Structure 1
Amino acid sequence: MAVIERSKSLTERALEIIRTEIIEGRHGFGSALSEITLAEELGISRTPVREALARLQQEGLVVVRPQRGTFVFQLSADEYVEICDCRTVLERAAFRMAVANDREALIKRWSAICEAMLKAREANDTAEYLRQDSAFHEGLFEHCHNRFLRDSYRLISGRMAALRTYIGAEPDHMAKSFREHFEITEAAAAGDIEKGLALLEGHIGLKEGSYWRIKNENIAPTSLK
């Protein structure tokens, strides 16, 4: 039993580290991931690394190609449009439910996240800002009280976080993102669902800001490296 618990702990730790490295861009889109290299870097055997990569495959962050190896995910142009559209549908539904069912808790969480975003910007800590950005959107699904909606979002949340890292350092996108998080929070606090939905659509919609730039300039598909 002790061996099993230790193995699970190592797998979870490897999973956390590799997932973070993909999301934060340390392993580029489409890059190969070597079990041997990862195991050596983490100071563990290949077994927990292999198990961690299997979990990341389920999350959509890696792709296993028979006879070739394991690679960080990439999106075709069509897939990029589809994942952004899927995100918009899920977040709009979660926003309605969260504001209607658990507004006070949602606003409390969002207000704390907005303050953390402010501190991250003042410290010029882009990585921390992007972590808070992800937490902001995850908050919708924590407070919508619909586990199926939450589970659906988890299927794309890792890939969206990695895309967020890709565009996060762009000054125009960062300024727009920062302002709109506060505006969405204010609309939710006022119970104005329609205004909040409009703001959310402008915040995450494919045809807005940097997400549209990625699609329009054809830098999203296989060239995200």
Structure 2
Amino acid sequence: MEQDLQKDITYERIKKLIINGTYPMGKKISERKLEQSLKANKAPIRDALKRLQAEGLVVRKAKSGTYVFSLTKKELLDLLKFRFVIESQSVLLSFEENADKLISETEKILLKMRLALTLNQGEEYLVQDAIFHETLVNLCNNSYFMSSFDRISAIMDTARNFLGNNLEHMQKSIIEHQNIATAISERNIGRVVELLREHILPEFGAYWKNFNLEDDQ
């Protein structure tokens, strides 16, 4: 039991280091350095890396080692298209199932986002950004949509922290989230979906279009 607990703790700690950008996308991961920094043994670290590999957060390269995942332009676009489909359809159900709670929760999260931005707390802002979008999905009460979104949430959070942790992004982001929250409070479902499309998809003006990622091989 204690051994399993240690494995879970090590897994969560390494996952957090990846998501918050301590180990940025594309960086090689040294098991020895993890042992030293986490004061953990090899077994739980290797177990954690296997779990993270299964989730797509790390990749193993033959004769090279273990790396945090990276994204090509096509991979990012595919990820964002998948996210938009799941999020836009989930929010329709969230309106049907929990409209009042959807309105109140998004307003609360928006206040936390504004506060984080005012206090120049970039990491906290991005945490609340992720919670905002999770809320749109989780209130749909549909386990299939929720599990589909959960599959990509860690990858999406890592990409957001890696690519969007700067003032320019957050100033644009807060306006877009305010517009989404306003449309939700007005129960204008069509407008919510339209705003999500503009917020998520690069071809409709989303901030992701500004980043130069690896060309597809």
TM-score calculated relative to the size of structure 2: 0.92
Query: 1:130, 1:192 → 2: CA distance?
Result: 26
Letter in 2 for 1:69: G
Alignment match, 2:213: 220
Amino acid at match of 2:30: S
Q: How far did residue 73 of structure 1 move?
A: 0.2
Query: Whole-Å Cα distance in 2 between the matches of residues 141 and 9 of structure 1?
Result: 30
Q: CA deviation at 1:115?
A: 1.2
* Unaligned stretches of 5+ residues in structure 2: none
Calculate the aligned-residue CA RMSD, in Å.
Answer: 1.8
Corresponding residue number in structure 2 for 1:178: 174
Query: 2:148 maps to what in 1?
Result: 152
Please list every run of 5 or more consecutive structure 1 residues that lacks an aligned counterpart in the other structure.
none
Once the 2 structures are TM-superposed, how far is the Cα of residue 67 of structure 1 from its aligned partner?
3.8
- Counterpart CA distance in 2 for 1:14 and 1:167 is 26
Aligned to 2:118: 122
Shift of 1:57: 1.4
Q: How far apart, CA to CA, are the structure 2 residues paired with 1:188 and 1:149? A: 19
What pairs up with 1:1-225 in 2 under 5 angstroms? 5-207=1-203, 208-214=205-211, 219-221=212-214
User: Could you tell me how far apart the structure 1 residues matched to 2:166 and 2:35 are?
Assistant: 33
Aligned partners of 1:91 and 1:140 also within 8 Å: yes
Q: CA deviation at 1:220?
A: 1.7
CA distance in 2, matches of 1:7, 1:105: 40
Look up the equivalent residue of 1:96 and give its one-letter code. L
Letter in 1 for 2:107: S
Q: Aligned AA for 2:109?
A: I
TM-superposition CA deviations, 1:65-111 (whole Å, max 9, x none): 34432110011222121111111111111111111211122222212
* CA shift for structure 1 position 31: 1.4
Amino acid at match of 1:212: K
Distance 1:119 1:152 in 2: 30
Q: Deviations over 1:126-161 (max 9, x none)?
A: 000001001111112211111111111122111111
Does the aligned pair in 2 maintain the 1:59–1:154 contact within 8 Å? no
Identity across aligned pairs (percent)? 31
State how far apart, in whole Å, the 1-side matches of 2:100 and 2:75 are. 36
Find the aligned partners of 1:152 and 1:169 in 2 and give their Cα distance. 25
Paired residues, number: 215
Deviations 1:171-214 (A, max 9, x none): 33211211121221121122210011111111111222420111
Contact 1:167 1:210 in 2 (8 A): no
